Structure 1
Amino acid sequence: MSKLKLVFGVVAIAFVTLTAVSCKDAKTESSTNSETSTEEDHSKMNHDNSDGHHDGEKKEMAMSGNGNSQTVLDDYFSLKDALVADDNLKAKELGAALAKSLGSLDISANYSDSQKADLKDIIEDAVEHAEHISESDIAHQREHFKVLSKDVIDMVAITGTEMKLYEQFCPMYDGGTAWLSTKEEVRNPYYGSKMLKCGKVQREIN
């Protein structure tokens, strides 16, 4: 009888030991699975965050791309055409538009430090004159357009242009004054209908 108890005792101990080992293995496996799952979650989160970071960079690049010198030139030529047509109200609207596009011009890339400094000064001056044009009568608009044209010519000397431009010159207006045009044919923004064809092509750009 005592032998039987002994056998039962040994079996019971063996059972308890096996059960404990089994639970420990299960716990370890569960812990391993949990760690793996956590790592996967962190990996997924990092990937998601990485995507968000890249999206932010793309948006920033897209925003920077909007502020280019061609937009400034387009607004400048529209303003020039309004002055050629003696249209004071239209010139006011376009002066405001040009001030905005000048203020948005991206000078962060592809320029040396000295060019960036020059562009900053050019833009600040040009914005001031464009704003004055948005508030003035046509005689004063033309006075500000003279200085504005010089600023835009200086800007193009740094930024370059993808299109052929014509620097034109009127010897009659304020001791001689230049402006830019996309066409070789002279249409004078300083005199408009009074002396529409007064001037000459001084040089071609690009």
Structure 2
Amino acid sequence: MKTILTLTLLSLISFSATAQHEHQGDHQNHQQAEMQEAHRHTQHLDTLIHHYMDAKNALVQDDFESAKASMQAFADEVHSSSEMNQHEEHAEKHEKHHSNMVVAVEEASAAENIEELRAAFQKVSKELITAVENQGYDGTLYKQYCPMYEGGSNWLSKKEEVENPFYGQAMHSCGDAVEEISQP
């Protein structure tokens, strides 16, 4: 009887240790998946910010062709990234934001002149600012504001000095840096 009791006790201890080890493994796998998800998201946002800044800088210089090419690269990232298209964890939150972004990038892609591109850039800026404010960004960005364009428009910049993408060289420094967005 003691042998059966001892074997039963050892089996329970072994089962408990195995279950605990499997639970720890599941927890570690979950943490690794979350880290990979965060890394993919960071890469996605970095890519969007890169193309956005290229477009903004080209608009500041009144360079329609370069601005349009940069906005097309931005649109390609929006359309192809799983972060924009398959983010199930935050599907409801992203649904409206994503659909607004898709409309904005499609308008940018269809722009036939710099005025149309600037109007689309205004919409892209609104959605990108929302994404950065909601999700954070690993770095420092400046939210800037021009009171004259379309009743007031915001955009993002990597530097505090204002260079207005909506008026380009005609009103190069119109606006203000209204907020610093940074992550520790």
Question: With structure 2 as the length reference, what TM-score do the two structures score?
Answer: 0.70
Which residues in structure 2 correspond to 1:1-206 (within 5 Å)? Answer: 65=40, 68-103=44-79, 104-106=81-83, 113=90, 116-136=91-111, 137-206=113-182
1:53-79: CA deviation from partner (whole Å, max 9, x where unpaired): xxxxx9xx69x8386211111111111
CA shift digits 1:25-52 (9 cap, x unpaired): xxxxxxxxxxxxxxxxxxxxxxxxxxxx
Whole-Å separation in 2 of the counterparts to 1:121 and 1:178: 20
Following TM superposition, by how much is the alpha carbon of 1:128 offset from its aligned partner in structure 2, in angstroms? Answer: 2.3
Q: Distance in 1 between matches of 2:95 and 2:77?
A: 14
Deviation at 1:187?
Answer: 0.2
**Residue 95 of structure 1 aligns to which amino acid in structure 2?**
M
Structure 2 distance, partners of 1:190, 1:126, is 19
- In the alignment, the residues of structure 2 paired with residue 119 and residue 157 of structure 1 have an alpha-carbon distance, to the nearest angstrom, of 13
Runs (4+) of structure 1 exceeding 4 A deviation are none
Tell me which amino acid in the other structure corresponds to 1:71: T
User: Residue by residue, what CA displacement relative to the aligned partner does 1:1-34 show, whole Å, maximum 9, x if unpaired?
Assistant: xxxxxxxxxxxxxxxxxxxxxxxxxxxxxxxxxx
From the CA coordinates, give the structure whose radius of gyration is larger.
1
> Structure 2: how far apart are the matches of 1:95 and 1:128?
13
**Alignment deviations for residues 121-150 of structure 1 (CA, whole Å, 9 cap, x no partner):** 222222322232223110011111111110
Alignment: residue pair count = 143
Segments of structure 2 that go 5 or more residues without pairing to the other structure are 1-32
Aligned equivalent of 1:11: none
CA distance in structure 1 between the aligned counterparts of 2:93 and 2:136, rounded to whole angstroms: 14
- Identity across aligned pairs (percent)? 34
Distance 1:127 1:78 in 2: 19
Deviation at 1:178, TM superposition (A): 0.6
Code of the residue aligned with 1:117 in structure 2: it is E
Q: Which runs of 5+ in 1 are unaligned?
A: 1-57
In the alignment, the residues of structure 1 paired with residue 130 and residue 155 of structure 2 have an alpha-carbon distance, to the nearest angstrom, of: 11
CA distance in 2, matches of 1:121, 1:203: 24
- 1:80 is paired with a residue whose SS is helix
